[in-house]
Amino acid sequence: MLPISAMNRPSPAPSVQIETPEVEYLLVCQAQSHSFDDGRWSFALETAAGDSVLDAEDVETGDLNRLTLLAAVRGLESIDGPASVLLLSNNRYLIRSLSDSLPRWRASGFQWEHFGRRMDVQHADLWRRVDRALEIHCVQACLISSRLVSGGKSSDQTQSTRSSDHSMIQPPSRAVARSRGAWEGTNAWDRIDRPHNDHPSRPRSASADQDGLRRWLLGDVAKQASQPAKPRFDSKDLF
């Protein structure tokens, strides 16, 4: 993938290849939102080697998308001077808007036309701050996603399975699935106003040679840097 900062900028000559600088920082953005008045954002900034630079969090009103976006804004603005940043989040709205919608919003002045009226896109105040930060930093965005693929067996289920060849393991209930971070449905408000239980954990301090996850992330980003991003727009990007 191309760095987000390079999207919708003047293209270089065909013979010039865009080079992605080596990642200097990992920025992990998270949020929780149990209700509009009960939310919290947080970010963790670390060097590529795993040394902690800054951890910050605060209570704020807003839905899950705005809180995650606020974490990204605060994280990017906390970096002193131009830097190469790999932004990690499990919020699809943030990552997809950065790669797909932001170039279009920038071109339209972060507004869209609604029945002849010019209106700000959703969270335009924060997106303008993100756009200013992207003019300073080289930012690459990575979506962290997980799914519950097995509920496992309890000790009672294990004994029951061994005693009968015809016994079947029942799938976990919806409540249990939610507590383990399973997908809560296709309704958009499930993703916006309910807390995610599968937040990416903050990378632990470790050398780059010993941290397999960090080496995999950094290596994967470098490998995909030369591949152009595919635009994925829909009507939801207008709001």
Q: Are residues 167 and 194 in the same domain?
A: no
Residue 237: inside a domain: no
- pLDDT average per 10 residues of sequence, the chain (239 residues): 58 54 92 90 94 95 95 96 95 95 94 88 96 96 88 66 50 44 39 44 46 64 52 54
- To which residue do tokens 């970096």 refer? 79
Q: Are residues 166 and 85 in the same domain?
A: no
Q: Which residues lie across from 30 on neighbouring strands?
A: 42
- The total number of structural domains in the chain stands at 2
Say which CATH number the domain at 131 has.
3.30.420.10
Q: Are residues 20 and 56 in the same domain?
A: yes
Q: Are residues 163 and 126 in the same domain?
A: no
- For residue 150, what pLDDT is reported? 86
Q: Are residues 165 and 140 in the same domain?
A: no
Q: Are residues 69 and 113 in the same domain?
A: yes
Residue 112: inside a domain: yes
Q: Are residues 133 and 218 in the same domain?
A: yes
Owning domain of residue 93: 4-147+189-232
- For residue 174, what pLDDT is reported? 47
Please name which of 10, 46, 43, 1 lies closest in space to residue 141, comparing C-alpha atoms.
1
Please name which of 222, 228, 229 lies closest in space to residue 21, comparing C-alpha atoms.
222
Q: How many CA atoms lie within 13 A of 180 on its CB side?
A: 14
Cα torsion angle, 98, 29, 75, 57, sign:
positive
Range 116-123 contact pairs with CB under 8 angstroms and sequence separation of 24 or more: 121/238, 121/239, 122/65, 122/239, 123/65, 123/66, 123/69
- Report yes or no: 137 and 85 within 8 Å, Cβ to Cβ: yes
